[in-house]
Structure 1
Amino acid sequence: MLSFIQHSSLVKIIIQFAGIIAVLCSAVLSIVYGVADIKLETVWRAVIEFDPENTSHQIIRELRLPRVVGAVLVGAFLAVSGAIMQGMTRNPLASPSIMGVTDGAAFALVITLAFIPGISTIGMTIASLVGAGIAVGLVFMVGSLSTSGLTPVKLALAGVAIGTLLSSVSSIIALHFNLEKQLGFWLAGGLAGTGWTSIQILLIAGGIGLVIAFAIARSITVLNLGEDVAAGLGQRNIMIKLMGILTVLILTGSAVSVAGAIGFLGLIIPHMTRFIMGTDYRWIIPASAIFGALLLVLSDIGSRLINAPFETPVGAITSLIGVPFFLYLARGNSGGGKS
């Protein structure tokens, strides 16, 4: 049955269409349910007949709508980033959180807020991109120091080590400059502060990053077969990797600048998507975007309902799901070979 799904384009289209429907239904639930329950009719009227004097309309338009749109975009960005990283490195443990990319982006945000406290949202996004790039460079440099080469497990260990280091330094800087409350949001991961300005930045970043991701999808499929095979087929591997890294930096950096360090989503979703869709990244990338959006929207709903009226960090929920998944994968790849 699974083999049939992986080879049937029609079934794959149906699965993705069902995923989009599920995202839309989850988005409606996210808008309706929360500390203040709002009727579906009120949501509809707030969209088409907005009344600025109506408190419920204000909550919907200024708080819940940008929040759910942010969850969709951030979830899609992190999942696509994870899929690209796993495809480029042939490393099943690669993801923005495991490879230290999110910690690098958060570290740059801490530095920026400490020394440039009045920086704009766009400035914070740029800082996130720079921090993510620094983290990627450090991870690959440390992982390559081993005499036996850059294996998947060593790359993951280097990512965890660099990520932990950057996270620790971020905490020290935050304590020194009294930024604990201000940075608690980014370090824990959450969507409570998402506004329409943040959505505009995400849309611009997504327009650039996702276009590149779809453009190199076929090349990543070939690269996933092995660098020698890809080179033998005439593919310029270095160029594809540079484009892939640029895509990851754009998508992850913008996502972290808005939602903070949400971990493991980029690890879980690509694996689930490959299991269902097969190994062709022309299917994996769009499906990862859909399922990543769905998981983060559902996680955000859970963050508001688990301990209502207080919010649980979304990053805690995704980590609760992702840590056992990571341990399972690490155990399966303990031999250090590439998948």
Structure 2
Amino acid sequence: MFKLLGWVVTLALVAAAALTLDPARLGLSTRLPVTQAIAMRPYLVAGFVVLGGVLLLGVLLAALRGRRRPRGAVLALAFLAVGLGHGLVLWDRGLTDDPLPEAPAGAVTVFTLNTLGGGATPQQVAAAALGTGADVLALPETSAASARLVAEELTASTGTPFQVFARQTGKWESSSTALLVSADLGEYAEADPPATSHGAVRAEPVDGEGPTFLAVHPISPHAPGRAMERWRADLHAVTEACRSESDVIVAGDFNATLDHEPMRDIGTCVDASTEGGVGGLATWPAHLPRLVGAPIDHILLDGDRYVVDAAAVLDVGDSDHRAVVAQLSPR
């Protein structure tokens, strides 16, 4: 009886470990505490590998003393396999960390960075954008005044004006989001953005020629209850353009990874980081190594209209986020 119960518990632990590989399939990725755990896949890699290694060592030591531990062996191998599986997901999304090459002729370079309300100064943001040749900047936690300073720096250095759009939903800069669009892309006008807890910005081409740009910043899933509900609603709102429109580019701090269910259902959109081979690198928190943390900053683009030539993850100033940059060419 006790042996049977032991196998039931062992198999239940194996099943639970396996489910961590893709909790969105069972609708668990937007529920506490799975939401937070799956966002940090590098920790799951380390955790399962360490647990599996310790269990396997215990099994081997027991074997040397003539004792068999089949349940321990099964659990150890399962944990090691799950840890490897999490690592392969990150590897598949891309862990390259090469410098961004020169953009091909005709490409649009999109740059997104949560500036932490000035943690990355306008001068630092402008310098990073200039270094990448950015045509479009999506800047969560950036006030309209700071965005104008970035635009002035860019214009002074390139001679090309940048149109500035910004929305703020509260008194703190964390609720403000800015969008800058180079005049080289044509004239843009602000349109109604998705309704979210933090500011979101939408800009459409006046002549109808060119992509629609959205800069977004869903609230973080930082607490149970109301915050989680608002996060889920925000995520669905900011990805709706991908499901219902064509020729859209949505960029910003999504406070979500590709493992969260709303980021799976994005219509014709694809994730520029994954397409560019850097989707496994962490964009938050920036004080940790790039292989440790969560890739929650994204550039989503209509994969039927654009191909990703290259992408990169950059450290900028003292923001707690890294910037994501992608070069996009029309198909």
| Same fold per superposition (TM over 0.5) | no
Q: Looking at both structures, which has the greater relative contact order when contacts are Cα pairs under 8 Å and sequence separation is at least 6?
A: 1
Bigger fraction of residues in strand: 2
Q: TM-score range by the shorter chain?
A: under 0.3
TM-score in terms of structure 2 length: 0.26
TM-score in terms of structure 1 length: 0.26
Q: Give the greater-gyration-radius structure (CA).
A: 2
